[in-house]
């Protein structure tokens, strides 16, 4: 049985043959390339256009789907939201749908998940890293083979290098969030390196930070890219992720002193603040609707009772119309063109996974990521973000070109998340069974960066700046309605920042990781799972079995432990 590294190092001609197909898979112009036939390794290394296709293939792998339908964005939501106090797994009535989701919901992830979400996440993440390393090797070889490179080509190669540095930093960071210390793969592996071991959390975060520092210097700003380049990594995206990685290391250092998993982590709140403020002060991003601006989407059409005239900014950013907006810092791109299943078009399964399983007349999605009653009660009544985030019985839902009423009878909480919905024209009217959806998955949006800055400012003793940033988030939410809620805070505590991240980023895959780095897992430990409502109950409500000192991270998939011949070792508690 081949190890992970044997599988991902496998003759790269396979990737080279597949890359033209991958370049057809995304909606943005920079991902559109004609299929010109099979190409050799020499072709990809010998021309700037060939290297460009390697870049495209690496982006495409960020949204790859294995045969059991777990796209990486769905995995992120499962690890980050369903595992936390803000959401139940959901799915079919009875609590047995997608066993891996259910186990994470209960706080009992295993190394041998039946649905293999963790195994796929691990393998496909390293596949992306390997593609980035291959592209970087191609760039180095092109420079070595060409003594004189025109200035425009040299600039492109620098940009490509920056993009690959960003992507491999980003994927290593995601892996570290989920598994803790992981193997760092910073070059193409030789056969003698298949037994590589996991690094510490600190080593992984330092690698991420180093790569991002390089990427910042190489990448263009968002505004410097021409039309048709939405979705590319930018210097702003790299600096935002650097702020996040620095904030995570700081939180681990502060809250897990003496825990060997976090040995070597240092407090870098000042650095996190600097990087977040560089993004804020760049002028490249904004909180859409912060001055009351509204937008036109399907939400305000055809007799809508939610937004009868226009759509506020906080709703707009989660629509297909609002993608790649001035609030978007980095998103994985998706498209739905009605082609068959398994991501031929590089769409996402977020739409079908996360939308309501039942309405008043039909079934739409599969009903996962169901908001909890605790999360609903955490919001201040009248907060306009509630109706953007949470759907309840009787709420309007747009089906077959008309507004009908929603039934959440199959949700264990009688609620459903609404952030990843799409209109019939954009998805439901064209999809086949399980077809990929059009919604991008935004890994970093500007509101997240503003809250990074608020947290880092608070931790460095600057409560005035922290208060200013939190009130920016609250103002944008408030200006999307007429309720006057949420009001500006007059003073600020760290709990206010925790809560604002909860309200603003709910169901987007952040909550579990935040609670872990803050060591606030009391929100997770012992939280009873909801009963199935409407007369149908689970045999008995199950308490979350989160174990402090163990469940902060997922176990490495057991198949990788076996295939590593003992090189990979589980953290204590998962042996």
Whether the Cβ atoms of residue 315 and residue 388 lie closer than 8 Å to each other: yes
Whether the Cβ atoms of residue 302 and residue 419 lie closer than 8 Å to each other: no
Q: What is the distance between the alpha carbons of residues 85 and 338, in angstroms, rounded to a whole number?
A: 35
β-pair partners for 473: none
For residue 270, pLDDT over 90 is answered with yes
Q: What is the distance between the alpha carbons of residues 329 and 236, in angstroms, rounded to a whole number?
A: 7
297 lies in a domain? no
341 lies in a domain? no
The residue written with tokens 């609670």 in the block is 515
Query: Which residues have CB under 8 Å from 440's CB, separation 6+?
Result: 231, 323, 324, 328, 331, 332, 333, 334, 348
Predicted local confidence at residue 431, as pLDDT:
62
48 lies in a domain? yes
443 lies in a domain? no
Q: What is the distance between the alpha carbons of residues 474 and 356, in angstroms, rounded to a whole number?
A: 28
Q: What is the distance between the alpha carbons of residues 249 and 253, in angstroms, rounded to a whole number?
A: 6
Strand 396-399 with 390-392, pairing: unpaired
Which tops the pLDDT comparison, 528 or 216?
Answer: 216
Tell whether pTM > 0.85.
yes
19 lies in a domain? yes
**Tokens describing residue 99:** 């066993």
66 lies in a domain? yes
Q: pLDDT digits over 379-405, tens only?
A: 999 999 999 999 999 999 988 788 989
Q: pLDDT digits over 291-315, tens only?
A: 999 999 999 998 998 999 999 999 9
Whether the Cβ atoms of residue 166 and residue 233 lie closer than 8 Å to each other: yes
Q: pLDDT digits over 332-377, tens only?
A: 988 765 555 544 556 778 888 899 988 877 778 899 999 999 999 9
Residue-number span of the structural domain to which 20 is assigned? 4-70+116-287
For residue 442, pLDDT over 70 is answered with yes
Whether the Cβ atoms of residue 538 and residue 531 lie closer than 8 Å to each other: yes
Range 319-323 average pLDDT: 94
Confidence of residue 331 (pLDDT cuts 50, 70, 90): very high
For residue 35, pLDDT over 50 is answered with no
Task: Give the DSSP H/E element, type plus range, for residue 274.
Answer: helix 269-281
Range 79-99 average pLDDT: 89
Domain count across the chain = 1
CA angle 248, 249, 253 (to 5 degrees): 120
Q: Which of 88, 3, 132, 71 is nearest to 557 (CA)?
A: 3
Range 456-465 average pLDDT: 98
Cα 529 to chain center, whole Å? 24
Q: Which of 58, 226, 87, 72 is nearest to 512 (CA)?
A: 87
Q: What is the distance between the alpha carbons of residues 65 and 217, in angstroms, rounded to a whole number?
A: 32
Which tops the pLDDT comparison, 547 or 530?
Answer: 547
Q: What is the distance between the alpha carbons of residues 412 and 333, in angstroms, rounded to a whole number?
A: 31
Q: pLDDT digits over 411-441, tens only?
A: 989 999 999 998 888 877 666 555 677 889 9
DSSP letters for 42-80: HHHHH-HHHHHHHHHHHHHHTT---TT---HHHHHHIII
**Tokens describing residue 559:** 């198949």
Cα 144 to chain center, whole Å? 36
Which tops the pLDDT comparison, 424 or 88?
Answer: 88
186 lies in a domain? yes
Q: What is the distance between the alpha carbons of residues 478 and 379, in angstroms, rounded to a whole number?
A: 13
Range 9-21 average pLDDT: 30
3-state secondary structure string, 484-552? CCCCCCCCCCHHHHHHHHHHHHCCCCCHHHHHHHCCCHHHCCCCECCCCCCCCCCCCCCECCCCCCCCC
For residue 18, pLDDT over 50 is answered with no
**Tokens describing residue 564:** 């590593």
Query: Which CATH number does the domain housing residue 244 bear?
Result: 1.25.40.390
Task: Give the DSSP H/E element, type plus range, for residue 311.
Answer: strand 311-312
256 lies in a domain? yes
Q: pLDDT digits over 487-512, tens only?
A: 999 999 999 999 999 999 999 999 99
Could you tell me how many residues make up the chain? Answer: 575
Q: pLDDT digits over 132-162, tens only?
A: 999 999 999 999 999 999 999 999 999 999 9
Instruction: Quote the strand ranges of 62-170, DSSP E.
Output: 87-90
The percentage of the chain sitting over the pLDDT mark of 90, rounded to a whole number, equals 60
Cα 281 to chain center, whole Å? 24
Q: Which of 198, 58, 66, 77 is nearest to 136 (CA)?
A: 58
Q: What is the distance between the alpha carbons of residues 33 and 26, in angstroms, rounded to a whole number?
A: 10
β-pair partners for 330: 444
């Amino acid at each position: 049985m081949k190890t992970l590294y044997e599988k991902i190092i496998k003759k790269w001609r396979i990737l080279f043959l597949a890359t033209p197909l991958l370049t057809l898979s995304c909606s943005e112009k920079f991902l559109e390339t004609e299929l010109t036939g099979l190409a050799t390794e020499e072709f990809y290394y010998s021309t700037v256009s060939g290297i460009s296709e390697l870049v495209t293939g690496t982006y495409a792998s960020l949204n790859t789907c294995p045969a059991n339908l777990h796209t990486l964005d769905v995995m992120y939501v499962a690890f980050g939201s369903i595992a936390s106090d803000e959401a139940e797994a959901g799915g079919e009535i009875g609590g047995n749908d997608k066993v891996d989701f259910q186990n994470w919901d209960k706080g009992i992830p295993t190394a041998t998940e039946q649905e293999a979400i963790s195994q796929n996440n691990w393998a496909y993440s390293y596949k992306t890293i390997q593609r980035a390393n291959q592209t970087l090797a191609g760039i180095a070889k092109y420079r070595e083979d060409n003594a004189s490179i025109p200035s425009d080509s040299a600039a492109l190669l620098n940009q490509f290098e920056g993009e690959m540095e960003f992507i491999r930093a980003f994927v290593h960071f995601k892996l570290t969030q989920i598994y803790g210390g992981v193997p760092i793969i910073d070059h193409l592996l030789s056969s003698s390196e298949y037994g590589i071991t996991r690094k510490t959390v600190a080593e992984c975060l330092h690698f991420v930070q180093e790569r991002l520092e390089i990427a910042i210097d190489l990448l263009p700003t968002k505004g410097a890219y021409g039309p048709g380049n939405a979705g590319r990594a930018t210097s702003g995206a790299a600096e935002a992720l650097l702020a996040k990685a620095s904030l995570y290391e700081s939180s681990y250092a502060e809250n897990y002193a003496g825990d060997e998993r976090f040995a070597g982590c240092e407090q870098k709140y000042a650095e996190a603040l600097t990087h977040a403020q560089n993004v804020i002060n760049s002028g490249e991003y904004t909180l859409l609707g912060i001055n009351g601006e509204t937008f036109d989407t399907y939400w305000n059409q055809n007799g809508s009772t939610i937004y009868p005239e226009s759509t506020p900014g906080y709703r707009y950013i989660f629509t297909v119309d609002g993608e790649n907006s001035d609030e978007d810092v980095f998103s994985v791109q998706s498209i739905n063109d009605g082609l068959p299943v398994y991501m031929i078009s590089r769409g996402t399964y977020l739409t079908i996974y996360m939308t309501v399983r039942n309405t008043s007349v039909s079934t739409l999605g599969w009903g996962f990521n169901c908001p909890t009653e605790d999360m609903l009660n955490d919001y201040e009544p009248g907060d306009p973000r509630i109706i953007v985030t949470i759907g309840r019985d009787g709420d309007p839902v747009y089906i077959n070109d008309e507004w009908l009423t929603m039934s959440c009878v199959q949700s264990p909480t009688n609620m459903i998340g609404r952030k990843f919905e799409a209109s019939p024209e954009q998805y439901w009217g064209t999809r086949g069974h399980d077809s990929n959806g059009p919604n991008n998955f935004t890994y970093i949006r500007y509101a997240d960066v503003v809250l990074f800055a608020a947290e880092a400012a608070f931790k460095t003793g600057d409560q005035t700046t922290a208060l200013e940033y939190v009130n920016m988030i609250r103002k944008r939410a408030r200006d999307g309605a007429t309720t006057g809620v949420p009001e500006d805070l007059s003073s600020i505590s760290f709990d206010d920042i925790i809560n604002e991240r909860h309200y603003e980023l709910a169901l987007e895959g952040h909550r579990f990781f935040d609670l872990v780095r803050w060591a606030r897992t009391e929100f997770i430990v012992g939280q009873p799972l909801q009963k199935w409502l409407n007369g149908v109950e689970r045999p008995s409500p199950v308490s979350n079995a989160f174990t402090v000192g163990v469940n902060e991270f997922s176990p490495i998939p057991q198949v990788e432990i076996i295939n590593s011949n003992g090189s990979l070792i589980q953290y204590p508690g998962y042996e």
